[in-house]
Structure 1
């Protein structure tokens, strides 16, 4: 029960035994129902008492124990977690070491959280390219940054019905025959750092770097896509009627 919150297996077993009992127990009874070895029981009870999630009292010649109500423990753990988060935020001092490493990042939720952190820290410019359903999760953040004076330019893939107000917003609707297109996310911040993410074997993976050759490459890649979107929108019928041009367009990312 409590192991996921940093408690040991024995501590979790003892607390669960006491929490599910209708009356206080002595150490011998706790050993019987919890399965914790007798040689360890007093050590475990002492730690739980110090952590403030069990009560103890002298009853006759025996010391008995009872669990704090589960809701009280939940409130306690919640407060401690929030305090730990606050300390973590304030304890890390950021330093700029001119990082040109290429870092890898996995997990869609981690990548999304990192993208939002990058966007929140932008001071001058933001360039983003995302599919429409993913872009919707960043729309409010991007609108806010533009209101703060940051230059924001976005390319949305898949639909032009996104509800967002940005000065520079481009759309690319994939042409028929490009259903194989893979998911893709690109974020460039202040012309100094880039995060590029895509699908590999069904899982999201990303790279993040401040190395300028990569930043410049992916920025140009973004404007390549914007140009492609504009050309496709204006001349799509003519281009797709030409077999050679159609074949060439199908070899591009979109």
Structure 2
């Protein structure tokens, strides 16, 4: 017996699908023969056949012999019927649903869930990505970010620890003393296309217990983006004031770019 929850998945009962598959392996047959070869109780077989005939999946020939339509046609009809049902359902859902809850700030718990959401955001980015992350998160996300940069997305990358230069717009965060002393947390922020933000901290030794926030609230998103943008200015100021160094030509160009990136 075929057990696929077909009533839900295909609009056919398990008995109906089993009868059709059995017929494709041996036909034409009468009801009694089909009952024996399929394992469907004889008391049910004719009801099942009537259903298949009504749907046009089985043809009754002379002398109560039954033949299935070709499997390609069977699958094609099911697909067509199912797509029509899904299309109708989609229209009803669109009509019924509320406006997107863009003011809600969602909580994402666990490292794998947070990284999964971050990858989704990066893959869907069209214009820009501002991101601040530690090397551990970079291990999971850098390849996705590089792919985004290759397709024309501006990636503005703030590394929370020294790493090799990978991106066109990249700095190493001049971490303040409290951050340097606290090795138990890792900051993580990503803002995509001025439309959505994912931010929070991962707790060392309890990544899966960490809580990260995601949202599309305009003020929340733009505030987060502005914070990341100002990390670039923090980098320039730290180099000039604290390190007493002159910005390189490349850094000057980056400064001019970030200054205009409002």
TM-score, normalised on structure 2? 0.53
Q: For 1:208-227, what aligned pairs fall within 5 Å after superposition? A: 215-227=218-230
- How many residues get paired? 193
Which residue of structure 2 lines up, in the alignment, with residue 53 of structure 1? 57
1:66 aligns with 2:71: no
Structure (1 or 2) with the greater strand fraction: 1
Which digits, 9 at most, give the CA deviation of each residue in 1:99-128, with x for residues without a partner?
Answer: 5666789997xx97xxxxxxxxxxxxxxxx
Deviation at 1:234, TM superposition (A): 7.8
Which residue of structure 2 lines up, in the alignment, with residue 171 of structure 1? 157
Q: Name the CA shift for 1:38/1:156 in 2 (closer, same or farther; >3 Å).
A: same
The higher radius of gyration belongs to: 2
Deviation at 1:77, TM superposition (A): 1.9
The 1-side partners of 2:43 and 2:13 are apart by 16
Which digits, 9 at most, give the CA deviation of each residue in 1:153-175, with x for residues without a partner?
Answer: 42256446412335x65223452
Which residue of structure 2 lines up, in the alignment, with residue 93 of structure 1? 95
List runs of 5+ in structure 2 lacking aligned partners: 133-137, 164-182, 244-262
Which residue of structure 2 lines up, in the alignment, with residue 19 of structure 1? 24
Q: Name the CA shift for 1:165/1:67 in 2 (closer, same or farther; >3 Å).
A: same
Deviation at 1:32, TM superposition (A): 0.8
CA contact (8 A) 1:19 1:67 kept: yes
Counterpart secondary structure, 2:61: strand
Q: Name the CA shift for 1:96/1:8 in 2 (closer, same or farther; >3 Å).
A: closer
Which digits, 9 at most, give the CA deviation of each residue in 1:202-233, with x for residues without a partner?
Answer: 9xx98667xxxx65334423332333356458
The 1-side partners of 2:194 and 2:91 are apart by 23
The 2-side partners of 1:105 and 1:44 are apart by 48
1:36 aligns with 2:40: yes
List runs of 5+ in structure 1 lacking aligned partners: 113-129, 143-151, 241-254
Structure (1 or 2) with the greater helix fraction: 2
Q: For 1:70-85, what aligned pairs fall within 5 Å after superposition? A: 70-85=71-86
